[in-house]
Amino acid sequence: MKVAVMGYGTVGSGVVEVIETHNKSIANRTGGEILEVSHILDLRDFPGDEHEDLFTKDFNDILNDEDVMVVAETMGGVNPAYDFTMKLIESGKSVVTSNKELVAQKGLELLEAAERNGVNYLFEASVGGGIPIIRPMAQCLSANNIEGVAGILNGTTNFILTKMIEDGMTFEEALKLAQDNGYAEKDPTADIEGFDACRKVCILASLAFGKHVYPNQVRAEGITKITLEDVSYVSSANGVIKLLGQIKKIDDDSIAAFVSPAIVFNGSQLASVNGVFNAILVRGDAVGDVCFYGPGAGKLPTASAVVADMVDCAVHVDRRKTFGWGEGAEDYVVDEKTVLKMPFYVRAKAGCGEIMARFNDVKFLNRKGQPSDEVAFITDSMTENELTSKLENMDVINIIKVTDY
C-alpha cells in the first residue's frame, strides 16, 4: 500500500525509517501487505538524503495520487496542517498524526469529517509519544466509567524537575542542560509554561469524557516558579514535584481539567517517572488505577506510534475505527479553583503560630537552611479559593497542589 509523509523533521524522518526497517512486523499485522512511502512533503531541501526522489514541495502531489491511501502528518502546528488534513480526508484518504496542537484545536472537526468520508483520523502519537495510550484508554472506557486521568505529559519539564530533585540543579541550570541535550527548544516556553501538556490534556479529556475540550478551557501553570527550596520541603514529606495534567469528572455535564505542578508522594507510580519519560494514570470505577509508562518523545518512539496507526489504517481501510467525541460547551470545563477540594503545599514568610491560627490542621515541613521567618506546610483538603481567602494578607512565596494519585 502506498503511503505519504508530510513533514520530514524528527518524527517524519523517523516514520520513514521505521516503515523501511519494519517491513516484516508490518506485514505480520496487515496480513502480508507492506507500506511503501511514495511521497515526502517538506518545503526544505535535504540534499544527499537517500529518499531524494520522493520529496515534493507541492501538497497536490499527495492529494492527487489516487494510490496513496494513508498519510502521516508530522508537520506540527495548526496551519497548514489543518487545511492539508481536511483536504486529504475529504478526498477519501486516512490520516494519522503526531500533531497534538492540531488535534487539540481541530480534532472534533477532523474526526467528524473522517466519519462523513468513511476514513480514519488517528492520533496515538499525539499524547505520550511511543506509549500506547489512546487505544488502551478507549478499551478501558468500554467497561468503566472514567473518574479521572493524571499524566506526566511533557518530557522536557520532567527532565528539568528530575535534575532539580535528584542532582540539586537550579531550574535555570536544568533548563540549560535540557537545551544542550536537545530535550528543550531554544525557546522553551511551550514546554515550561505547560502549553504542550495542556494540548495533551485536551485530547485525553475529549477521549475520556466524550466532549471536545479546547486549550483555552484548560488553565496551564508551568514550572518556572518551582525552586530548590520547594523541592527540599516536599522531599522532607516523602514527595516529589511533577508537572501534571489532571482531568476529573465532576458530573455528567462537567469536568475539571488543568495543568500545574503537583506533589506526588513516593509509592505512587507517577513518583518514579523520571527524566524524559511520560506516564498516564487512568482511574476507572471498575478497573481502579491503571498506568501507562514510556518514552514521551523522541524520534523512533514517536515514529513507532505513528506507524502503528498507519498499519491500523491499512488493516481497516474499508472500515472506520469507532474513535471520537462530540461537541463541547463553554461551561463544560469548570473552574477547578472553586470546585475541586484537595490538600495544598504552601510556603510563606510567616511563623507557625500565624499558620495555626488560620488553619485547623496542617503538617509542617522542614528543610536544611530554613530561615526562621519561613514556614512550609501541607493543608487539609479544601478548594483553592478557600485556601486563598485563608492566606489573605500573608506573604506567600509558593502554592502547589497535592494529588491523590
Q: Which three cell numbers, joined as nine digits, stand for 5? A: 509523509
Which residues neighbour 137 within 8 Å (Cβ) at sequence distance 6 or greater? 146, 149, 204, 207, 208, 282
Footprint of its own copies on residues 71-90 (CB under 8 A)? none
Q: How far is the CB of 329 from its own copies (least distance, A)?
A: 18
Give the shortest CB-288-to-its own copies separation in angstroms.
Answer: 5
By CB under 8 A, is residue 143 in contact with its own copies? yes
* One of 34, 78, 138, 397 touching its own copies (CB under 8 A): 138
Q: Which is nearer to its own copies, 128 or 188 (CB)?
A: 128
In the complex, the smallest distance separating the C-beta of residue 177 from its own copies, rounded to whole angstroms, is: 19
Instruction: Please report whether residue 94 would count as binding its own copies according to CB under 8 A.
Output: no
Identity of the residue, 246 or 302, whose beta carbon is nearer to its own copies in the bound complex: 302
317 touching its own copies, by CB under 8 A: no
Tell me if 118 contacts its own copies by CB under 8 A.
no
Helix, strand, coil share of the chain (percent; to 5): 40, 25, 35
Among 142, 360, 372, 393, binds its own copies (CB under 8 A): 142
Distance in Å, CB of 144 to its own copies, minimum: 6
Strands (E), 34-88: 36-41, 55-56, 68-73
Residue 315 in the binding site for its own copies (CB under 8 A): yes
Q: Does 295 bind its own copies (CB under 8 A)?
A: yes
Question: Is the distance from CB of 41 to CB of 6 less than 8 angstroms?
Answer: yes
**DSSP state string for 105-159:** HHHHHHHHHHHHHT--EE-GGGSSTTS--HHHHHHHHTT--EEEEEEE--HHHHH
Interaction of residue 352 with its own copies, rule CB under 8 A: no
Least Å distance, CB 136 to its own copies, is 4
Per-residue contact flags (x/-) with its own copies for residues 185 to 224, judged by CB under 8 A? -------------------------x--------------
Interior angle at CA 46, CA 42 and CA 48, nearest 5? 150
Is 337 one of the annotated active-site residues of the chain?
Answer: no
Task: Choose one: 65-73, 87-95, 174-182, 315-323; the region binding its own copies (CB under 8 A).
Answer: 315-323
**Residue 9 interacting with its own copies (CB under 8 A):** no
Q: Which residues within the stretch 25-44 sit at the binding site for its own copies (CB under 8 A)?
A: 25-26, 28-29, 31
Residue from 290, 356, 394, 396 in contact with its own copies (CB under 8 A): 290
Spell out the long-range contacts of 28-31 with Cβ–Cβ below 8 A and sequence spacing 24 or more.
29/311, 29/315, 30/1, 30/311, 30/314, 30/315, 31/315
Contact assessment for residue 323 and residue 111, using Cβ atoms and an 8 Å cutoff: yes
By CB under 8 A, residue 297 contacts its own copies: no
Note whether 308 binds its own copies by CB under 8 A.
Answer: yes
The residue range among 2-10, 135-143, 365-373, 386-394 that interacts with its own copies, by the rule CB under 8 A, is 135-143
* Other beta carbons less than 10 A from residue 290's beta carbon: 15
Reported for 210-214, long-range contacts at CB under 8 A and 24+ positions apart, including other chains, are 210/325, 210/326, 211/325, 211/326, 211/327, 211/328, 211/329, 211/332, 212/107, 212/108, 212/325, 212/326, 212/327, 212/328, 213/255, 213/257, 213/328, 213/332, 213/333, 214/104, 214/105, 214/328
Choosing from 200, 242, 248, 401, which is the catalytic residue?
Answer: 200
Q: How many CB atoms lie within 10 A of CB 59?
A: 17
Q: Which residues bind its own copies (CB under 8 A)?
A: 18, 22, 24-26, 28-29, 31, 124, 130-132, 135-136, 138-145, 210, 267, 269, 271-274, 284, 286-295, 298, 300-301, 303-308, 311-312, 315, 319, 322
Kindly list the catalytic residues. Answer: 200
